[in-house]
Amino acid sequence: MKSLWSKTAQLPEREQLDADLRVQNVVIGAGMAGVLIGYLLQEKGQEVIILEAKEIASGQTKNTTAKITSQHGLIYNDLIKNVGLERAKGYAQANEAAIQLYKEIITKEGIACHFEELPSFLYSQKEEGMQKLKKEAIAAKALGIDAEYMRGDKIKDLPYGVMGAVKFGGQAQFHPLEFIQALASKLTIYEHSNVLEVDEHFVITDQHVVVADNIIFATHYPFPIVPGYYFLRQHQSRSYAVAIEGAGVPEKLDGMYYGIDRGALSFRHAMGKLIVGGGSHRTGKKDKMGGYCYLREQVKRYYPEAEENACWAAQDCMPHDGIPFIGRFSIQHDNWYVSTGFQKWGMTTAMVSAMIISDMIVGKENPYAHTFSPQRLLIRAGYQNFFVDVWESIVNLGKGIFVKKNQKCTHMGCALHWNEEEQSWDCPCHGSRFTKEGESIDNPAQTMLK
* Residue 347 interacts with ligand FAD (CB under 6 A): yes or no: yes
Binding mask 258-297 for ligand FAD (x = CB under 6 A): -------------------x--------------------
* Residue 179 interacts with ligand FAD (CB under 6 A): yes or no: no
Size, binding site for ligand FAD by CB under 6 A: 39
Q: Count CB atoms within 10 A of the CB of residue 353.
A: 31
The one-letter amino acid code at 418 reads W
* Residue 426 interacts with ligand FAD (CB under 6 A): yes or no: no
Contact between 163 and 126 under an 8 Å Cβ cutoff? The reply is yes
| Shortest reach from residue 240's CB to ligand FAD, in Å | 7
Q: Binders of ligand FAD among 120-159, rule CB under 6 A?
A: none
Contact between 268 and 257 under an 8 Å Cβ cutoff? The reply is yes
Q: Count CB atoms within 10 A of the CB of residue 128.
A: 9
3-6: long-range contacts, CB 8 A cutoff, minimum separation 24 = 3/62, 3/63, 3/241, 3/310, 3/312, 4/243, 4/270, 4/271, 4/273, 4/275, 4/309, 4/310, 4/312, 5/62, 5/63, 5/64, 5/66, 5/175, 5/176, 5/177, 6/62, 6/63, 6/177, 6/312
Q: How far apart are CA 92 and CA 439, in angstroms?
A: 39
Smaller CB distance to ligand FAD: residue 33 or 147? 33
From candidates 14, 67, 328, 411, binder to ligand FAD by CB under 6 A = 67
* Residue 371 interacts with ligand FAD (CB under 6 A): yes or no: no
Strands 195-199, 202-205: parallel, antiparallel or unpaired by DSSP?
Answer: antiparallel
Smaller CB distance to ligand FAD: residue 36 or 147? 36
From candidates 101, 133, 184, 350, binder to ligand FAD by CB under 6 A = 350
Smaller CB distance to ligand FAD: residue 32 or 166? 32
Q: How many CA atoms lie within 13 A of 83 on its CB side?
A: 23
Smaller CB distance to ligand FAD: residue 126 or 192? 192
Report helix, strand or coil for 234: strand
* Residue 181 interacts with ligand FAD (CB under 6 A): yes or no: no
Smaller CB distance to ligand FAD: residue 163 or 431? 431
Q: Considering only 41-49, 73-81, 290-298, 344-352, which stretch makes contact with ligand FAD by CB under 6 A?
A: 344-352
* Residue 194 interacts with ligand FAD (CB under 6 A): yes or no: yes
Q: In Å, how far from its chain's centre is CA 44?
A: 25
From candidates 9, 17, 30, 260, binder to ligand FAD by CB under 6 A = 30
* Residue 171 interacts with ligand FAD (CB under 6 A): yes or no: no
- Helices 176-184, 76-109: axis angle to 10 degrees equals 50
Smaller CB distance to ligand FAD: residue 163 or 282? 282
H runs (alpha helix) in 111-154: 127-142
Q: Binders of ligand FAD among 34-63, rule CB under 6 A?
A: 34, 51-54, 58-61
First to last CA, the chain: 26
Q: How far apart are CA 440 and CA 416, in angstroms?
A: 12
Smaller CB distance to ligand FAD: residue 18 or 86? 18
Strand-pairing partners, residue 319, are 234
Contact between 247 and 313 under an 8 Å Cβ cutoff? The reply is no
| Shortest reach from residue 324's CB to ligand FAD, in Å | 9
Q: How far apart are CA 327 and CA 68, in angstroms?
A: 21
Smaller CB distance to ligand FAD: residue 14 or 344? 344
* Residue 422 interacts with ligand FAD (CB under 6 A): yes or no: no
* Residue 64 interacts with ligand FAD (CB under 6 A): yes or no: yes
Q: How far apart are CA 159 and CA 250, in angstroms?
A: 10
Q: Binders of ligand FAD among 195-234, rule CB under 6 A?
A: 195, 218-220, 223
Smaller CB distance to ligand FAD: residue 53 or 356? 53
| Shortest reach from residue 9's CB to ligand FAD, in Å | 15
Tell which phi-psi region holds residue 263, choosing left (phi > 0), alpha (psi between -120 and 50) or beta: left
Q: How far apart are CA 342 and CA 349, in angstroms?
A: 6
* Site residues for ligand FAD per CB under 6 A: 28-34, 51-54, 58-61, 64-67, 194-195, 218-220, 223, 239, 241, 277, 314-316, 342, 344-348, 350, 443
